[in-house]
Amino acid sequence: MGRLSGKVAAVTGGASGIGEATARLFAEEGARVAIADLDADRGRAVAHEISALFVETRTEREAEAMGFIRRARAELGRLDVLVEQRGHAPLSDGGRCQRGELGRDPRRQPQGLCLLREGGHPGDAADRGGSIVNVASVRSVVVGATPPQYDTTKAAVAGLTRALAVDHAGEGIRVNAVCPGPIFTRFHERRATTAGKQFEEFKAEFGRNTMLKRPGTPREVAACILFLASDEASYVTGTCLFVDGGQTAM
Catalytic residues: 150
For the chain, the farthest-separated pair of C-alpha atoms sits apart, in whole angstroms, at: 55
Across the beta sheet with 32-37, what order do the strands follow?
53-56, 32-37, 8-12, 81-84, 130-135, 173-180, 240-243
Give the SS3 label for residue 188: helix
Using N-to-C axis directions, what is the helix angle for 108-120 and 148-168, rounded to 10°? 20
Closest to 193 (Cα-Cα) out of 184, 202, 204, 185? 202
C-alpha dist (Å) from residue 24 to 50, 194, 212: 6, 28, 26
Phi and psi for 135 in degrees, rounded to 5?
-105, 110
Can you say how many angstroms the Cα of residue 63 is from the centroid of all Cα atoms in its chain? 20
Contact 28, 101 (CB under 8 A): no
